Amino acid sequence: MKPETTQQQQATVAVVGLGSIGGVAAGCLAGAGRHRVVACVRNSVARLTLDLPDSTAELPLCSLTDPAQAEPADWVLLCTKTQDTPAVAPWLDRLCTPTTKVAVLQNGIDHVARVAPFAKGATGVPVIVYFNGERLAQDREAKLLHVRLRQGADQDLLAADDDAGRAFTQLFQGTPLRVGNSGDFVTAAWRKLLINAIASPITALTLQRQAVLRRPDIQELCHAILGEAITVGRAEGAKLGNDEATRAMAALFTFPPDAGTSMYFDRAAGRRLEHAALTGAIVAAGERHGIATPINRALLPLLAAISDAAGKS
């Protein structure tokens, strides 16, 4: 498909947060060579190594470490963890104008509402991330970063089927990432939340990668967590079928047993967890609708205690 405008062909794309998701997104866009990609990071990165499923790319990368250096961008890809959104307000203040599109590549629901207070009237574009990214290594002295892309399901990113969502899809044309559009983004977001609601807490609490999800007793726990989340999601307007739990488990099993989750990597690194946007979102929605969520509610303080301890270290 031919791009609609020259601006889309030569967009300036600022990637805020160069972790597992941002690193893969920046690498895929830089490798395609259609856009000017700028990474907004704490530590400067000059070269990025991107491990793809069938190859490895070595890519030069432009990075900024001070928001004062940033200029307005056509696109901002917000790839920080949900709990870190307020911390990137200085970046958004410099990068955003009313004509900017801010693609929110974060877990959970309510993507646009989470970012709107900091986006200066820019258009929020909620994006669901399905690919498994992993930050393998960083050499801060040499300004090198190494990330890996693992692809499991039949798509890697999903945006709404509207003008902004379709523009996001076009942004990634010619890259290894498979981007789709959904006419029912609420349902799609809840389906992704179902996956995160089991994989993230369990891998973080056990400090094991996704192999732990193959245990029969853990699978029984997963189905109980999902049962609560599905009931709440339906009350929130998601059109979730009777096979949603089976679908969520099947989606996880498309990734290899040694794949991690973002929450697993955060706990292993002693970082705060995004439990509030995952398990917390299910519990909060249950409270809004008067629906009991005892298992998710039991997991929440355990995750909060881990996160709070990391925040004090």
Q: What is the pLDDT along the chain (313 residues), one digit of tens a residue?
A: 334 444 456 899 999 999 999 999 999 999 999 999 999 999 999 999 999 999 999 999 999 999 999 999 999 999 999 999 999 999 999 999 999 999 999 999 999 999 999 999 999 999 999 998 999 999 999 999 999 999 976 899 999 999 999 999 999 999 999 999 999 999 999 999 999 999 999 999 999 999 999 999 999 999 999 999 999 999 999 999 999 999 999 999 999 999 999 899 999 999 999 999 999 999 999 999 999 999 999 999 999 999 999 977 6
Nearest Cα to Cα of residue 309 among 263, 261, 273, 275: 273
- Cite the active site residues: 192
DSSP class of 81: -
CATH architecture observed for domain 186-312: Orthogonal Bundle (1.10)
Alpha-carbon distance 291 to 132, whole Å?
A: 32
Strands 157-160 and 179-182: parallel
Kind plus residue range of the DSSP H or E element containing 293: none
CB 192 within 8 A of CB 172: no
Q: Which amino acid is at 189?
A: A
Alpha-carbon distance 26 to 255, whole Å?
A: 22
CB 144 within 8 A of CB 45: yes
CB 147 within 8 A of CB 127: no
Residues in the chain: 313
Q: Topology of domain 6-183, per CATH?
A: Rossmann fold (3.40.50)
Q: What residue spans define the domains of the chain?
A: 6-183, 186-312
Q: Give residue 153's pLDDT.
A: 67
CB 183 within 8 A of CB 137: no
List, edge to edge, every strand of the sheet that includes 62-64.
Answer: 62-64, 36-40, 12-16, 75-78, 101-105, 123-129, 157-160, 179-182
Q: Give residue 312's pLDDT.
A: 75
